[in-house]
Amino acid sequence: MTLLGKPRGRLRPGLARLTGPQRFLLAGSFLIPLGSFAVLPFMSVLLHQRLGMGLGAVGVVLAVASLVQFSGGVVGGAIAGRIGLRRTMLLALVIRTAGFACFLPGLRSPAAAVLALFLVSVGAALYLPANKAYLIHEVDEGRRPLLLSASSSALNAGMALGPLAAAPFVLSASAGLFTAVTVLFAAITVGHALLPGESPDRRPEPSRGERAFSGLAVLPFATTVLSLYVFMFFQHYLALYAVPRTSATYYGLVLAVYALLLVVAQPLLADWIAALPYARALRCGFGAMAAGMATLAVGNHAAIMAGALLVCLGEIALFFKNDLEALARSTRAPAVVFGHQRLAAGIGAFASGMAGGEGYQLAEHMGGTGLFWVVVAAQGALLPLLLGRWSTVRGPGR
């Protein structure tokens, strides 16, 4: 017997009809990034300014930690298939809580701070595939868009509010901030221990030699790689471009409005995006991103705000639809599918990081960083043409 009860196989319409475990997981989808992003966006400041690490070393540490967090999703999905979704979430949260606790000695030791960062990244890699899979476990396919979009909105709300809440305390009261985040994660871990264990997945497992990537939904995987490739140019280089042309305050306003649109619009658009044919969703998503990147090239206040919001709409359409298509086209359990998608995101982000730095520097040398956004926009406009015919082929899960 558990305090939260057993999840039901079907959901009645609307968020008001969610089960206890689903409500708890959606609350966790807000609290976990709230705590994480109270700390993680300030890691470069902690490592460089407080602990004296060189910027080159800081860049390497952050890049490797990001790669672990994304690519480790494949391992997380495999572990979930072996020990179960709830147990995997618990393992991930124990590791992540230990990581935040290690930030306390990390205030004096670069080695402890790096260890803390990697523990947090490993925990995130293990948690997300199992979390998404548990949320939609034994739920009708027609109810999945509502749950996944609500989870994504909660996550983005936490990501947006975490840095704002923590900014006054990061340097002035670091120990208190890290202690509070550790306590928050310990409480969330206890809550997960009260969740009911899920019923076993009845899908046949592939042989050991094929296990990691058998049943891979190839098109959604490839499209996620390309989606993140285009999007991460915006994520990495908007601050560098926007702050000198506007101000740090205006850039903060752009991010706040972006987060608000993401939180509000995704659940409202979820059913519409889910019903779109994949090829049309790709045209809409990449088209919005391309239009947004091209608008950024104008470089004034209005263009930067409008371009960011267009990119936001593209993010909503592409990231959400890719996950739904991966679930529908793959023969594997959802936790494994979400692990594959996390790996695809990591590959795309890594490729964007490799290309973006040189590309932005080249645009600077040529005298106009607006050209950088024009080139990114051109890539975003061409990708749907390359993917369009392939996207009409339906996989085994369809």
Domains of the chain: 20-201 (1.20.1250.20), 218-390 (1.20.1250.20)
Answer for the pair 293, 233: CB distance below 8 angstroms, yes or no: yes
Start-to-end CA span in the chain (Å):
37
Q: Is 176 exposed, middle or buried (0-12, 13-18, 19+ CB in 10 A)?
A: exposed
> Would you place residue 16 in the very low, low, confident or very high pLDDT band (cuts 50, 70, 90)?
low
How much of the chain is in helix, strand and coil states, percent to nearest 5?
A: 80, 0, 20
pLDDT tens, position by position, 196-253: 877 665 555 555 544 556 678 888 999 999 998 898 888 777 877 887 888 867 877 8
Distance, in Å, from the CA atom of 56 to the CA atom of 346, rounded to the nearest integer, reads 21
pLDDT tens, position by position, 85-130: 899 999 999 999 999 999 898 888 888 989 999 999 899 889 988 8
What are the structure tokens assigned to 245, written together?
């042309």
The pTM of this model reads 0.69
Q: What is the mean pLDDT of the chain?
A: 81
At residue 44, the pLDDT reads 67
pLDDT tens, position by position, 297-324: 998 999 999 999 999 999 999 988 998 8
